[in-house]
């Protein structure tokens, strides 16, 4: 790694502590001098949202949330915010709810308090995404960066174990991809490695004791660090692949990341010795892939894209969509044939080999 780099740290208040969300939220609403709060949470997330917003006056509760932020939902939510003269957005839930709040902030300039209940990490990035006609567009704008994030592991206990595992592997994907992303540097690589360590410890604990807080606290801490590393380093090969699969074929976000990750790691690691050794050290294993494989086995992780809705006949088209998006920073050249081979292996769930 060259000792010359420009590293940008994004400003944000991060409030961490189990059982503290309601109190922290009330204090932040006062600190921000907000009077017209709009909450954004899906119907499934509404019970959590209702419980923690009891001490706050909420002007409108918006539940019309869908994966990958369809443009019609974004426009509707922005119209609701304008109609109710909202001065603060509070999103409570997974990356889909955070993503909708970001889409509203993008057009209205409203500040966001994010209270995440998955390990997706969108709350700690300035990246937005909107899907229109089957294509997901993403962009970077500091306007969408939540001013405050409130992490409370109590709120993640209701997240089913399978989803917790897939979402945690989504966070590990942020870390691994950050190692070779366009703006990878010693700072974001260090954050990514610490995040892998925390997630590799936390996720098995979540699996064994889904209602316990210790594993979920580790996983949330790791998820936050993973997102900071990802926001700083940018999107690498892995995110470019999953972005196309999610946007074009409506595959579920976390599970897609969980399945694709070992194939990207197997492809890139031999050409990225520093990333390889940092990831292996974080897992405490001889190689990066051995560490990821062992964790995936322990977690009984999602295995094949065919289980999540990818049709085999879409692979050639997907490879064509992914190729132009691959960053020049990727440690080895990538061809359409490489992508098709990787996607066929991920489709079938065959063993990822170096
Ligand atoms: P999601 O938000 O769609 O949540 C998955 C499911 O879990 C949903 O049904 C949701 O209602 C449910 N859920 C969430 N929390 C729950 C809880 N505590 N209890 C019970 N159910 C709960 O999925 P996700 O994986 O969290 O987020 C995916 C989205 O986030 C994608 O659109 C992705 O592109 C985006 N994302 C964006 C960034 C970014 O930086 N912009 C980063 C990561 C992810």
Contact 272, 279 (CB under 8 A): no
- Calculate ∠ Cα 103-104-105, nearest 5°: 90
- Neighbour tally for 57: CB within 10 Å: 11
Kindly tell me the burial class for residue 330, based on how many C-beta atoms sit within 10 Å of its own C-beta (0-12, 13-18, 19 or more): buried
In a structure prediction context, what are the per-residue pLDDT tens digits for the chain, which is 354 residues long? 567 999 999 999 999 999 999 999 999 999 999 999 999 999 999 999 999 999 999 999 999 999 989 999 999 999 999 999 999 999 999 999 999 999 999 999 999 999 999 999 999 999 999 999 878 899 999 999 999 999 999 999 999 999 999 999 999 999 999 999 999 999 999 999 999 999 999 999 999 999 999 999 999 999 999 999 999 999 999 999 999 999 889 899 999 999 999 999 999 999 999 999 999 999 999 999 999 999 999 999 999 999 999 999 999 999 999 999 999 999 999 999 999 999 999 999 998 876
pLDDT of residue 239: 97
Establish whether residue 63 lines the binding site of ligand 1, counting it when its CB lies within 6 angstroms of any ligand atom: no
Residue 36 has what pLDDT? Answer: 98
CA of 176 to the centre of ligand 1 (A): 20
266 and 237 Cβ atoms separated by less than 8 Å: no
**Ligand 1 binding pocket includes 334 (Cβ within 6 Å):** no
pTM, whole model, 2 decimals? 0.97
| CB distance 91 to ligand 1 below 6 Å | no
User: Is 48 close to ligand 1, i.e. is its CB under 6 Å away?
Assistant: yes
The pLDDT value given to residue 129: 95
Q: Does residue 279 contact residue 288 with C-beta atoms inside 8 Å?
A: yes
The per-residue DSSP string of 322-346 comes to: HGGG--TT-SS---HHHHHHHHHHH
Which atom from ligand 1 is nearest to the alpha carbon of 127? 41
Q: Which pLDDT value is given to residue 72? A: 98
Mutation test of ligand 1: which of 229, 253, 254 has the most ligand atoms closer than 8 Å to its C-beta? Answer: 253
- What is the percent of the chain with per-residue pLDDT over 90, rounded to a whole number? 95
Q: Residue 354 has what pLDDT?
A: 64
Is residue 257 in contact with ligand 1, taking CB distance under 6 Å? no
d(CA 190, CA 119): 19
Most ligand 1 atoms within 8 A of CB, residue of 116, 122, 162 to mutate: 122
**Measured from the CA of 157, which atom of ligand 1 is nearest?**
18
Please report the pLDDT score of residue 119 as a whole number.
Answer: 98
pLDDT at position 133 is 87
Q: Which residues pair with 102 in a beta bridge?
A: none
CB-ligand 1 contact for 235 (6 Å cutoff)? no
Closest residue by Cα to atom 3, ligand 1, is 96
Ligand 1 atom 39: the closest Cα is on which residue?
122
The verdict on the CB of residue 21 being under 6 Å from ligand 1 is no
Contacts of residue 261, Cβ cutoff 8 Å, sequence gap at least 6: 169, 172, 173, 176, 238, 292
C-alpha 326 – ligand 1 centre gap (Å)? 24
Q: How far apart are CA 339 and CA 241, in angstroms?
A: 9
Distance 273 CA to ligand 1 centre (A): 32
Q: Is the CB of 243 under 6 A from ligand 1?
A: no
Ligand 1 in contact with 120 (CB < 6 A)?
yes
Tell me, using a 6 A CB cutoff, whether residue 159 lines ligand 1. Answer: yes
SS3 242: helix
**Is any atom of ligand 1 closer than 6 Å to the C-beta of 193?**
no
Regarding the beta carbon of 118 and ligand 1, being less than 6 Å apart is answered: yes
Q: pLDDT (tens digit, 9 = 90+) per residue, 247-280?
A: 889 899 999 999 999 999 999 999 999 999 999 9
CB 152 within 8 Å of CB 21? yes
* Half-sphere exposure in the Cβ direction for 97 (13 Å, CA): 28
Ligand 1 geometric centre to CA of 203 (Å): 17
222 to 19, 298, 301: CA distances (angstroms): 19, 18, 18
Evaluate: CB of 223 within 6 angstroms of ligand 1: no
Residues whose CB falls within 8 Å of the CB of residue 190, separated by 6 or more in sequence, listed in order: none
User: Does residue 137's CB lie within 6 angstroms of at least one atom of ligand 1?
Assistant: no
In the prediction, which pLDDT does 353 show? 76
Q: What is the pLDDT of residue 134?
A: 77
Q: Is 247 in the pocket of ligand 1 (CB under 6 A)?
A: no
């Amino acid at each position: 790694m060259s000792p010359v780099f420009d590293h940008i740290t994004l400003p944000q208040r991060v409030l961490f502590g189990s059982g503290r969300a309601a109190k922290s939220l009330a204090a932040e609403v006062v600190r921000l001098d907000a009077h017209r709060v709009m909450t954004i949470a899906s119907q499934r997330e509404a019970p959590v949202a209702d419980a923690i917003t009891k001490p706050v006056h909420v002007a409108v509760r918006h539940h019309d949330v869908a994966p990958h932020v369809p443009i019609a939902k974004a426009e509707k939510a922005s119209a609701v915010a304008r109609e109710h003269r909202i001065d603060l957005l509070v999103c409570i839930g997974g990356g889909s709810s955070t993503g909708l709040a970001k889409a509203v902030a993008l057009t209205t300039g409203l500040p966001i308090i994010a209270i995440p209940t998955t390990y997706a990490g969108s709350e700690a990035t300035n990246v937005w995404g909107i899907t229109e006609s089957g294509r997901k567009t993403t962009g970077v704008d500091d306007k969408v960066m939540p001013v405050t994030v409130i992490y409370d592991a109590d709120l993640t206990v209701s997240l089913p174990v399978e989803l917790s595992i897939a979402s945690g592997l989504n966070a590990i994907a942020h870390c691994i991809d950050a190692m070779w992303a366009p703006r990878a540097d010693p700072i974001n690589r260090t954050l990514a490695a610490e995040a892998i360590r925390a997630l590799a410890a936390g996720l098995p604990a979540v699996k064994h004791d889904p209602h316990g807080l210790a594993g979920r606290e580790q996983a949330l801490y790791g998820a936050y660090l993973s997102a900071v590393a990802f926001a700083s380093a940018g999107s690498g090969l892995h995110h470019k692949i999953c972005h196309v699969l999610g946007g074009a074929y409506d595959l579920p976000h976390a599970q897609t990341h969980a399945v694709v990750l070992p194939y990207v790691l197997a492809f890139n690691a031999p050409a990225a010795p520093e990333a390889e050794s940092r990831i292996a050290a974080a897992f405490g294993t001889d190689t990066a892939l051995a560490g990821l494989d062992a964790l995936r086995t322990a977690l009984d992780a999602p295995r094949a894209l065919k289980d999540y809705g990818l049709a085999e006949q879409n692979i050639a088209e997907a490879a064509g969509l992914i190729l132009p998006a691959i960053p020049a920073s990727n440690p080895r050249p990538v061809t359409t044939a490489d992508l098709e081979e990787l996607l066929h292996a991920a489709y079938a769930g065959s063993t990822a080999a170096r």
